[in-house]
Amino acid sequence: MKRFFTENLAVLLLFVASSGCFCATSAAKEIWPRSEQAAAAQASSAKARFEQGQAALQAGDLDAAEKAFRGVLENEPNSAAAYANLGVIAMRRKSWDAALGDLRKAEKLAPRLTGVRLNIGLVEFHRGRYAEAIAPLESVLRDQPGSGQARYLLGMCQVFTDHFAEATETLEPLWKERQGDVMYLYVLGIAANKAGKKEIDERAMKQLLEVGGDTPEFHLILGKAYLQHQEYDTAFAEFQKVAAASPDMPFLHFNLGIAYEETGKNELAAEEFLKDIRIDPDLADNYYQLGKIYAQQQKEAEAEQAYREVLKRDPQRPGAWFGLAKIYQGQGKYEEGLKAVEETLKTAPGSDKAHYLRAQLLQKLGRKEEAKTEFATAKKLMDADLDKDRERWGEKQVASPEVTGQE
């Protein structure tokens, strides 16, 4: 099965709430050490602005907080804590690129601050860059082995990048403190199932059934768990319970669409994705799934429109660019196809399919030497990955919108 379904966004918000801002006292010790009395007044003013920013951030006044922290930077351009808190502000606004920029500046100025690296991992996670999130999260665990937040998030990233054995090893130590958490049990079950760790998989599934209630939310999670285990009839039964109690629940129709798609019922799947779009028109994944279905049905205009809708919401989505490239190839629009596949390779440079398609397009355009090089690259990647049934340009990594923070 080529898709993973994990927890909802509420768990992720916990990470932000727990690690979102820096203590003004500890920050002051690092940021304003001055040996010259002439700088005391300036430092005092910067400290006052910092404290104002902290108060505004805690009160949820992001505009006032940003103004205060930028004021700090006017006097203290190397303030790691100011950059870190600007990064938190951008995170709360879901401006992920801006957040990463500020957090990277904070990390450079204060590499020992684990909270900064934890938030960098969280930002990369929200951007769907799970492989890039792993290194900062691993570094947090090296410095703070007891960080349950970093461990949980790292385990999810390892699941999304197919490192199932590593994910199981990362997540299993959280059992004692999280065995009553249905989200944790669900993610651990995914990792153990794919890693062939039958005992842990069965233990997680048994515990999931024991601690869950009769709420629609739990039945949605349970349905997704059964879907992961390819128990489609049971999954449908759970989703129907959700539909009966809460027909407009977020992600219900998305997951029903995935279930129908997995069982070869693409017409019904498309209907479910369209229902989910009516509930949440901004979710890119619905349009992506529709694009794939329309492309299979040779509805090129509809597929192109669906992929364009994806890119309005997620401009770097490699699967959407690849889908467009295939459409243009079939229409004989080789220049347009080449541009689209090159966009694919910007975010998925290791995709053998994208390199092979680029080689084909270059050949059609008469660029034979470049095509030859691309064919060789594609073959090398294919040979290195023959034993894995996976699409390396990221389709697997984005099939669970609850986790990517798309709302």
Backbone CA torsion sign across 215, 220, 225, 230 = positive
Q: What is the pLDDT of residue 389?
A: 46
Amino acid at position 152, single letter: Y
Rounded distance between C-alpha atoms, residue 126 and residue 272, angstroms: 25
- DSSP H stretches of helix in 229-265: 232-245, 252-262
Residue 387 has what pLDDT?
52
Q: Give 89-134 as a DSSP string.
A: HHHHTT-HHHHHHHHHHHHHH-TT-HHHHHHHHHHHHHTT-HHHHH
Q: Are 394 and 130 in contact (CB under 8 A)?
A: no
Distance (Å, whole) CA 351 – CA 334: 19
Q: For residue 22, what pLDDT is reported?
A: 35
pLDDT at 67: 93
User: Which stretches of the chain drop beneath a pLDDT of 50?
Assistant: 1-35, 37-38, 41, 389-399, 403-407
pLDDT of residue 339: 97
Confidence (pLDDT) at 162: 86
Give the residue carrying structure tokens 């009395």: 37
pLDDT at 2: 34
- Is the distance from CB of 126 to CB of 404 less than 8 angstroms? yes
**Are residues 118 and 15 in contact, defined by beta-carbon separation less than 8 angstroms?**
yes
Looking at residue 12, its pLDDT comes to 29
Give the pLDDT score at 4. 32
- Element housing 285 (H / E): helix 284-296
CA angle, corner 256, sides to 254 and 259, nearest 5? 115
Distance, CA of 16 to CA of 401 (rounded, Å)? 18
Q: How many CA atoms lie within 13 A of 379 on its CB side?
A: 8
